[in-house]
Amino acid sequence: MLETLLASLVILMYLSLTGLLLYRLASAGQGLSKQVLLLVGTLAIVIHAFLIYIHLYDQKGLELSFFTVFSLVTWVITTMILLAAWRLPVENLAIGIFPIAALSVLLRLVSHKVHHLSTALSMGLEIHIITSIIAYSLLSLAALQAILLYVQDSHLHNKHPAGFVRALPPLQTMEDLLFRMIGMGFLILCISLGTGLLYIDDLMSQHKTVLSVGAWIFFAVLLFGRWKFGWRGRIAIRWTLTGFAFLLLAYFGSKFVLEFILHR
């Protein structure tokens, strides 16, 4: 009963914040102040974190079903955006994230699927799981940033910037933020793959590892190209989205097939 009430409250808060941000965007800054919106968002992610916690940890071990991980990833992404928004004008990025976070809470609430891991996980394996989720979240956010960068760049080239595009930070700021996300995500992905090699015996025989390594290669080449040749714009966007596609298949594609098609 408590879980249903809290989940309903979080969903309402996320959707209300989406509406308020859209209104603020359409009315050129009218409505609730940025600080108030961020405070409400902070309360929402605190309650969301509690809901994740009660599913994630129980007596049977770590519960990492598809919808639990989906909810956790959206929480990490939402938290990152809100933290960044206190210092940078990036709160409008949450317009696309809040509804997805609300959906993840709803799906976790109504789903009865569970997938428990052993209670006797080594610290190395726990680090692998945590860093995998954080890396995926960061690079998901980078993919969203790349899409917005593409839209912004297209409008500026056509000299027809729409209201939403005008509300985004300058192109250079957006691009710098993109590579900062990719850099952090790539570093944590390195840790994830490294701990996986050390603590998972059959890691290289799993197709999700092949896809993760493929994503790692794409992001490594992108960062090298940025450092050596100054890659930016459309090249950076294409490499970011391709690398993310590999990660999406690795993290959620394999999990979806195992849980919903093969019923494992």
pTM of the model: 0.81
Mean pLDDT of 70-98: 88
Average pLDDT over residues 38-63: 87
- Nearest C-alpha neighbor of 191 from the set 124, 118, 121: 124
Distance of CA 222 to the CA centre of its chain: 20
Beta bridge partners of 58: 61
Q: What does the alpha-carbon distance between residue 121 and residue 195 come to, in Å, rounded to a whole number?
A: 13
User: What is the spatial distance between Cα 9 and Cα 2, in angstroms, rounded to a whole number?
Assistant: 11
Distances (CA, A) of 72 to 78, 84, 159: 10, 18, 39
State residue 151's pLDDT score.
Answer: 84
What pLDDT does 144 receive?
A: 87
Give per-residue pLDDT as tens, 222-231: 999 999 998 8
- Residue 96 reports pLDDT greater than 90: no
Q: Which two tokens stand for residue 68?
A: 């639990």
Which of 9-23, 173-187, 192-206, 207-221 has maximum average pLDDT? 9-23
pLDDT-based confidence at residue 29 (cuts at 50, 70, 90)? low
Q: What is the structure's pLDDT at 75?
A: 94
More confident residue, 163 or 123: 123
